[in-house]
Amino acid sequence: MSLLPGLRYLPGVTTLKLDQNTCTGCGVCVEVCPHAVFEVSDRKAVIKDLDACMECGACSRNCPAKAVTVTAGVGCAQAIFNAMLTGGPPDCGCGSDQGSACCS
């Protein structure tokens, strides 16, 4: 489930790529993606909502098979939205549970 449903980035511009031949179906990308871009079907990851990707890079960094690539940090609009909503520093929710933000 997306952290902020309804908020989306520009359509058709994300650099996200998935190599299903390399994917092992572990599901890590589903767990770490803050925007519910992936699902696992028949033991392979599937991009179910490409334009929801904010290029935070969490999936690429955490995929153990290196099956996901994305050029991260070039347009994390989610972080900007969050900063506007909270008055805090940019944070799209893709950082560690220690509170560090990968996009700031």
State which of residues 5, 13, 24, 41 lies at the interface with ligand SF4 (CB under 6 A). Answer: 24
- Nearest CA to 68 among 39, 101, 29? 29
State which of residues 3, 25, 77, 81 lies at the interface with ligand SF4 (CB under 6 A). Answer: 25
Any idea which residue has 């699902």 for tokens? 39
The Cα–Cα gap between 98 and 43 comes to 31
The Cα–Cα gap between 104 and 101 comes to 6
State which of residues 5, 27, 88, 89 lies at the interface with ligand SF4 (CB under 6 A). Answer: 27
Site residues, ligand SF4 (CB under 6 A): 16, 18, 23-29, 32-35, 37, 40, 45, 53-59, 63, 65, 67-68, 70, 94
